[in-house]
Amino acid sequence: MSGNGRLLATVTERRGRPTVQLRDLRSGAVLPLRHLSRHQPHSSPSLSWTGRYLAAITQRGQRRLALIEDRLTGRAHPIRLPSDREPARLSLSPDARTLALQVAVQGRWRLELIDLGAILEPDRSAGERFSGPLQPTP
């Protein structure tokens, strides 16, 4: 669920494959996802504060990868991991500055925190002031 409670991302079966579905909770409408519709199956969806960014784990061929879709600009941001790391779960911070990834490395679980500050604009809650790059707001 987005931080503001307006959107809900779930995984549902579509043509026999797990697929992320984004729903507007006010209207009940299912919202289109430009990039996630092509790479299935999906797992572990996570939304930023306003739902501008949706992160999920997708499948491309035999490889699983983390992908962030920017719903405002329509851009996809694949998160590159070393070839020995396979993402299992993820969580996007509400401001979209950090992605937490649970990865399998040589049969062991590891948690990796990825700084997205150079890739994504922060997703701010309503009324939050902009304080400049990488500075906390009071």
Identify the pLDDT of residue 36: 80
> Residue 22 in contact with residue 7, Cβ under 8 Å?
yes
Domain encompassing residue 73: 36-115
The predicted model gives 85-114 an average pLDDT of: 95
Does some domain include residue 10? Answer: no
The owner of tokens 């902009």 is 130
Report strand pairing: 30-31 vs 85-92. unpaired
Cross-strand partners of 129: none
Q: What is the pTM of this model?
A: 0.86
What average pLDDT is seen over the chain?
A: 89
| Domain-located, residue 83 | yes
65 falls within a domain:
yes
77 within domain boundaries? yes
Domain count within the chain: 1
Q: Which CA distances in Å does 29 have to 4, 25, 52? A: 17, 7, 16
pLDDT in tens, 43-93: 999 999 999 999 999 988 888 999 999 999 999 999 988 888 989 999 999
